[in-house]
Amino acid sequence: MTSSDAERRHTPAGNVESRVARVPVETETSATVAVVRAVAEAEDASPGDLPLLSDVIDPEAFDDLFDDDRVGRSGVSLSFDYCGYVVTVTDDAVTLDAR
C-alpha cells in the first residue's frame, strides 16, 4: 500500500493515531464488498485470501443497513473487528483503524 492509499495522522502529543485507511464507498457497491475490498487493499492481499466476513457479521443484515432503498437510513454507522482492524462503515466510507 502506498502512502496515498492510507492515512496516518499524529496527535499533538506525538502519539500515532490508529487510522489505517478511509475508503469511499461507491454507490453501486454493497457494504460487504466495500469492506472486503478495503481490508484486502490494506493487507495487500486478494479478497479471497481474507477470512470470511460472514464469520464476523451477518452479510445480508449488514447490507440491508446500507441499502439505498431504505427510508431513514442516513447517518447509519456500524463498527466491528475484522482482520486486526476496527472497521467502521458509514453511508459513504469504510474506515480501518488498527486495534
Please give the pLDDT value at position 92. 87
Please give the pLDDT value at position 45. 96
Residues of the chain with pLDDT under 50: 1-16
3-state secondary structure the chain: CCCCCCCCCECCCCCECCEEEEEECCCCCCHHHHHHHHHHHHHCCCHHHCCCHHHCCCHHHHHHHCCCCCCCCCCCEEEEEECCEEEEEECCEEEEEEC
Q: Per residue in 16-42, pLDDT tens?
A: 467 788 988 887 889 999 999 999 999
Please give the pLDDT value at position 59. 95
Please give the pLDDT value at position 7. 36
Alpha-carbon distance of 68 to 28, in angstroms, equals 9
